[in-house]
Amino acid sequence: EWQQRLDNGVCECRYTVTVAGPYTLKVALNGYNVAGSPFSMYCSPVEIEAAECICKGRGLQGIFRTGHLANFTIISRDRFGNKLLHGGHEFAVRVLTQTPEGVPLPDLRGKVEDLHTGGYQVTFTPQHVGNVTLSVNCKTFAEDGDIEFKPVK
């Protein structure tokens, strides 16, 4: 919370909202509401944060059947953990398989469908018997403007 009195009788206050949703802002002077107060507002989630995105669903339970479709959902979130309400983000999903003896097999790419709700449906069909690792990354922009893919939880 930050407050500053300006020379012209105006007072400026700043507050960082961390939970998206509807808010009511009451502004009072000497115990009386200023004109128009209270004010209704809605705070939206901020930009996507890969480290806060989560994956859930049956396709993450660790038991896959070769040749059978598996799926899971990515839920996009901002740096405060708020669920994003829109799509448009780019995710890369790789299915990494090793034989039971530990020999790496060719990577498989998961198909990512944007549900336009902040959720993304991922599907893939394991092609080989073995140990499977899923790699899920989100395309983000670094502070210097470079594009990078960051891992999702």
Write out pLDDT tens, residues 63-113: 788 899 999 999 999 999 999 999 999 999 999 999 989 999 999 999 999
Question: Which of these, 151, 76, 153, lies nearest to 116 by C-alpha position?
Answer: 76
More confident residue, 60 or 76: 76
Torsion of CA 64, 149, 19, 3, to 10 degrees: 170
pLDDT > 70? residue 141? no
Amino acid at 57: G
Number of domains in the chain: 2
Task: Please give the Cα distance from 153 to 150 (Å, whole number).
Answer: 10
Residues 31-56 have pLDDT tens digits of 899 899 999 999 999 989 988 999 99
Residues 138 and 115 in one domain: yes
Given pLDDT bands bounded at 50, 70 and 90, which one contains residue 114? very high
| Cβ-proximal residues to 126 (8 Å cutoff; 6+ apart), any chain | 64, 65, 66, 67, 68, 70, 95, 97, 108, 132
Residues 18 and 77 in one domain: no
CATH of the domain at 121: 2.60.40.10
Task: Quote the domain boundaries for residue 22.
Answer: 2-43
Residues 59 and 37 in one domain: no
Residues 34 and 92 in one domain: no
Contact (CB, 8 A) for 52 and 79: yes
What is the token pair recorded at 69? 């479709």
Task: Please give the Cα distance from 108 to 110 (Å, whole number).
Answer: 7
Task: Please give the Cα distance from 66 to 93 (Å, whole number).
Answer: 18
Residues 120 and 76 in one domain: yes
Given pLDDT bands bounded at 50, 70 and 90, which one contains residue 146? low
Task: Please give the Cα distance from 35 to 5 (Å, whole number).
Answer: 19
Residues 85 and 142 in one domain: yes
Residues 69 and 120 in one domain: yes
Residues 81 and 7 in one domain: no
Residues 64 and 33 in one domain: no
Residues 37 and 80 in one domain: no
pLDDT > 90? residue 16? no
Which region among 19-23, 42-46, 140-144 has the lowest average model confidence (pLDDT)? 140-144
DSSP-assigned beta bridge partners for residue 54: 75
